[in-house]
Amino acid sequence: MSQTVEWKVHLYLSEDEGRTRARVELDTGSTALTGRGLARCNPDDEDVPVIGDELAAGRALSDLGQQLMRAAEHDLESVGEPPASRRPRPGYGWIA
C-alpha cells in the first residue's frame, strides 16, 4: 500500500554582531525537532551575508539530520533491532 506523508520544515535565519544563527524546525505531526547552526565572519574575510546564511543553515540542517538518525536508531531498538554499531554490515571491496 502506497502512502504519502507531509512533514513541515521551517528555517529561520537571524544576523547580529557578525554572527548568523539558523534554526530549523521539523514537525512530523507526531514529533517536533529543532536543529541549530551558527556561522561568524572572520574579521579578515570579506563580509558576504549569503555565505553566513548558507553555513548556518547547513549546520542547522546537519544538526537536524543527526537528531533524525538518533530518533530512527531509538525506534529501531524499540522494535527489537540491534543498534547500528552491532548490526552486521554487508561486505564490500574486491572479491579475491
pLDDT at 43: 87
pTM: 0.80
The mean pLDDT value for 19-32 works out to: 96
| Vertex 42: Cα angle to 38 and 44 (nearest 5) | 170
Give the three cell numbers for residue 77. 531498538
Instruction: Please check the confidence at residue 12 and state whether its pLDDT lies above 70.
Output: yes
pLDDT at 81: 78
Contacts of 2 (CB under 8 A, 6+ apart): none
41-95: pLDDT as tens digits: 988 888 888 999 999 999 999 999 999 999 988 988 888 877 666 666 666 666 5
What are 75's strand-pairing partners?
none
In a domain, 88, yes or no: no
Neighbours of 45 (CB within 10 A): 9
- Check which CATH number belongs to the domain holding 16 and give it: 3.30.160.240
What's the Cα-to-Cα distance from 32 to each of 9, 25, 62, 64, 68, rounded to whole Å? 10, 7, 16, 11, 10
**For residue 73, what are the domain limits?**
8-81
In a domain, 96, yes or no: no
